[in-house]
Amino acid sequence: MGAVQEHRIGIVMNGVTGRMGANQHLMRSIVAIRNQGGVRLAPGETIVPDPVLVGRNPAKLEALARRSGIDAWTTDLDAALADGANRIYFDAQTTSRRVESVTRGIEAGKHIYCEKPTALNTADALALYERAEEAGVKHGVVQDKLWLPGLRKVAALRDRGFFGELYSVRGEFGYWVFEGDTIPAQRPSWNYRKEDGGGMIFDMFCHWRYVLDNLFGNVEAVSCLGATHVGQRWDEDGKPYACTADDAAYGTFRLAGGVIAQINASWAVRVRRDDLLTLQIDGSRGSAVAGLRTCRIQPYGATPRAVWNPDVDNPVDFYDGWIEVPDQTAYDNAFKVQWELFLRHVVKDEPFRWTLLEGAKGVQLAEQGLESWAKQAWVDVPALV
C-alpha cells in the first residue's frame, strides 16, 4: 500500500466565535472534514485543513479552541495573514467589518472564502471581486442553500424536465424571533439595527439571488416592500433598543424566461407550514413544494379538479395527492459540501463558480430591493459585468 499524499492547507478563520461561524463553518464543516480524515481526492490523496481561529475576544477564542480541538488561535489578524502556511482567508464577521478584512486577505495573497453579504453596498462588493481578480487569488462566497437536500431535489426535478414550462415560484421564510425581554432572542441584536448592517432585505435577498439565479432563472427585476413590525427589542445585555432595520420583506421578482417569483420573509411570523423555508414551484407538467430537507411533487396527471363552492365543506384534501421525493443519494451538511468544493478548487484547481462576483450580485439585489421599497416601484436588475 502506497504512502498517503496529504495536502495540508492553513485557513485563517476570522469571526468564528459567532453562532453561524462556530457551528456551521467550524464544527460542522472544518472540524468534520478533519475528523473524516480530510477531503478525499483519490485513493491515497487527501486535503486536510489546518485552521487558525481569529477574533477579538481571547476568552471566546480559547473556549472555542477547547470545544473544537483546534489549538491555534490568535487576536492578531496580521500575524495570521503573514504566516505562509495559511493559504486561505475566511471571513464570518459582521458585514460592516468584511470589506476591510477581506481586502487585507487579498493584499496578503490569500485565497478568499467568505460569508455574505460581502459588503454593505454593490460598489464595495464589486470592488472586492475586482481586487481578487487583479491579485490572481481564488475566491468564493458561501451560498449554502444550494446544497440543502430539499433544493437539491428541486434541481434534480428541473434537470429531468419534471416541471415542463416553469411558471412561478412562491416562497415563505421566517419565524417568530422573540424580543429578548422575557424570552431570549434567537438572533443577535445587530440584525435589527440598520446602522450595524442589519435588516431582512439585506440579509435574505443575498440568499434569494443565488437561489433564484441557479435554480429558476436570472433575476431581471424586483418589486419589494419592507416593514419593521417590531419596533423595540432587548439586546444581549438586557437593554432595550429601537429597531431601525426592516424585520420583514415582501418581494416579487421577474426572472429570465418570464418566470415570476414571490418570496415573503419575516422575523415576526408564526409558522404553520412544512418548514421554516418552503418553496412552491409550479409548471405546466407538475408542481413541487420543497423545504430545507424534503420535497413533495404533484404531476399533472395526479392534479385534483378543484371546484369553487364556499357553501359546502371542500371534498378534496389538498394535502393528499402529493408524493414525497425519496432520498436517492446521501446528503451532507450544506456548508461542509461547499467548503469541500472550495478546498478542491484551491488545491486542484477544480471549477468553482460561486465567486465574489456572485456575492456582489446578492448585494446588488438587496440594494435594489431597498430602492424599490423607497420608490414604491419596480427596479430593473442589470448585469454587473
- 13 plus 123 within the same structural domain: yes
Within-domain flag for 70 = yes
Within-domain flag for 16 = yes
Given a contact cutoff of 8 angstroms between Cβ atoms, the answer to whether 52 and 72 are in contact is yes
Alpha carbon 99 to its chain's center: 18
- 134 plus 67 within the same structural domain: yes
- 47 plus 76 within the same structural domain: yes
pLDDT at 298: 98
Mean pLDDT of 27-42: 97
Share of the chain above pLDDT 90, in %: 94
Given a contact cutoff of 8 angstroms between Cβ atoms, the answer to whether 246 and 226 are in contact is yes
**Angstrom distance (rounded) from CA 46 to CA 5:** 6
What pairs with residue 85 in β-bridges?
none
Q: Total domain count for the chain?
A: 2
Assign 222 a pLDDT band (cuts: 50, 70, 90). very high
Q: What is the pTM of this model?
A: 0.94
Tell the burial category of 372 from Cβ atoms under 10 Å away from its Cβ (0-12, 13-18, 19+): buried
**Angstrom distance (rounded) from CA 70 to CA 231:** 41
Residue 72 has pLDDT above 80, yes or no: yes
- 338 plus 326 within the same structural domain: no
Least confident of 15-19, 49-53, 99-103, 268-272: 15-19
Alpha carbon 68 to its chain's center: 23
CB-based contacts of 177, cutoff 8 Å, min separation 6: 185, 186, 187, 247, 267, 268
What is the extent of the structural domain holding 98?
A: 5-144+334-354
**Angstrom distance (rounded) from CA 309 to CA 314:** 8
- 298 plus 376 within the same structural domain: yes
Closest CA to 248 of 98, 68, 113, 369: 369
Query: Cis peptide before 149, with omega less than 30 degrees from 0?
Result: no
- 127 plus 266 within the same structural domain: no
- 160 plus 207 within the same structural domain: yes
Cβ atoms within 10 Å of 167's Cβ, excluding its own: 14
Residue 1 has pLDDT above 80, yes or no: no
- 312 plus 343 within the same structural domain: no
- 277 plus 189 within the same structural domain: yes
- 112 plus 137 within the same structural domain: yes
Given a contact cutoff of 8 angstroms between Cβ atoms, the answer to whether 154 and 215 are in contact is yes
Higher-confidence position of 371 and 197 = 371
pLDDT at 4: 73
In this structure, what are the phi and psi dihedrals at residue 20, rounded to the nearest 5 degrees?
A: -65, -45
Residue 353 has pLDDT above 90, yes or no: yes
- 241 plus 348 within the same structural domain: no
Given a contact cutoff of 8 angstroms between Cβ atoms, the answer to whether 86 and 110 are in contact is yes
Quick one: angle between helices 122-135 and 356-375, nearest 10? 170
What is the rounded average pLDDT for all residues in the chain? 96
Within-domain flag for 385 = no
- Using alpha carbons, list the distances in angstroms from residue 110 to 118, 135, 185, 348: 16, 9, 36, 16
Mean pLDDT of 257-286: 97
pLDDT in tens, 241-252: 999 999 999 999
β-strands 219-227, 379-380 pairing: antiparallel
- 102 plus 220 within the same structural domain: no
- Any idea what the CATH number is for the domain that residue 26 is in? 3.40.50.720
Given a contact cutoff of 8 angstroms between Cβ atoms, the answer to whether 101 and 107 are in contact is no
Mean pLDDT of 181-196: 95
- Any idea what the CATH number is for the domain that residue 207 is in? 3.30.360.10
